Amino acid sequence: MTDISPSSSLYFRPTAFVDAPFDLDGKVLRLAGGLLWFSAFDVIVVDGGERGAPRLVTVKALDDFLATLSDEQAAAARVTISRISDVRAPFQLGERILRLDEPRIAGILNITPDSFSDGGRHSDDPQGAADAGFAMSAHGAALIDVGGESTRPGSADVWEGDEIERVVPVIERLAASGVAVSVDTRKAAVMEASLAAGATIVNDVSALRFDDRALEIVAKAGCPVIIMHHAGKAHELHAAPNYRDPLIEVYDWLEARIGELVEGGVARDKIIVDPGIGFGKALQHNLSLINGLSLLHGLGCPIMLGASRKRLIGALSNEAAAEDRLGGSLSLVTLAAAQGVQLIRVHDVPESVQALHVWRGLRDAALVPAH
């Protein structure tokens, strides 16, 4: 029998990835229907808010391990394990299909004067902004994420009318040319106007908590929605960090929020989760989340990572300025791909797409049987 208390909560993080599944039947599982296979779980046991000793359970020994748990724990574990390996269905975005069986790039297009990295570059120039979006799409971005309000620390709120004036002309131009567009906003009125203009995904850093109407709008539209973790209240994106175990706390928060969205009429298979790197998190919290990204597959939703040019890169590279963080950003792109992240939100699209091409080439080579 196991020494795991029946009161403990169990979390399953895929690990021990293998190059290819050949001749490993019963010893490996496929991660979220993608290009990765893994041979073990890092089983995290939490009781009373404290982690127990590390446990590595191989896929081959999984049934034996589950047999040692309480009936309730084993049933919950089987649901989580099924979600980890379930195929993530593609999104139908107007005439475009966004497949989630390999990592994809979402290009950041800020129509703001004050975003931390590229503020002011495209403000008051809808055609120039759209041209930048077209260029990102031509370089391989699967999605263009258009935002009209900065969410950096200390930024001022933008009136919804101004935000609509910023993003809608750009979204209309992109969508009319067949580009898949998401709108990065917290406001229901902006969501409505953007969806009417041709956006097909809502990306809300407040996880539909800032605006009381947001959940209703997304549920009625039936569109995919990206929900991001942040620890503060609905309007507090950068609350002072206070975590005992950031990876587990972010997982639990996202799981609870997914449940609330489903109860509010949003289909679970339309929800994408984002751990919220840099939002109310210190350096060590961000690093813990990035190292543990594969745990989030247990939520059964596609994962988005937005870490491009962020402060953590500067903190690890002699305080490099935002425009000098390309190398660090690319390292996070490939790390995310290696943990099965489906959407990676970036400023530097051509370089990030190239990094994924190399990563994909290595995966393809590994999946060719040796002769």
| Catalytic residue positions, numbered | 310, 345
Residues in the chain: 371
* Distance from C-alpha of 278 to C-alpha of 329, rounded to nearest angstrom: 13
Tokens representing 135 are: 């260029």
Q: Give the three-class secondary structure for 364.
A: helix
In terms of Cβ atoms closer than 10 Å to its own Cβ (0-12, 13-18, 19+), residue 236 is: middle
Distance of alpha carbon 253 from alpha carbon 327, whole angstroms: 31
Question: Which tokens belong to 360?
Answer: 């994909």
Q: How far apart are CA 47 and CA 50, in angstroms?
A: 5
Q: Residue 72 is inside which H or E element, if any?
A: helix 71-85
**DSSP class of 369:** P
The CA distances from residue 290 to 127, 246, 334, 353, in Å, are 36, 11, 12, 20
- How many Å apart are CA 371 and CA 350, to the nearest integer? 35
**CA separation, residue 202 to residues 170, 190, 226 (Å):** 15, 10, 6
Give the C-alpha separation, 353 to 289, whole Å: 23
Strand partners, 236: none
For residue 199, the Cα-to-chain-centroid distance in whole angstroms is 19
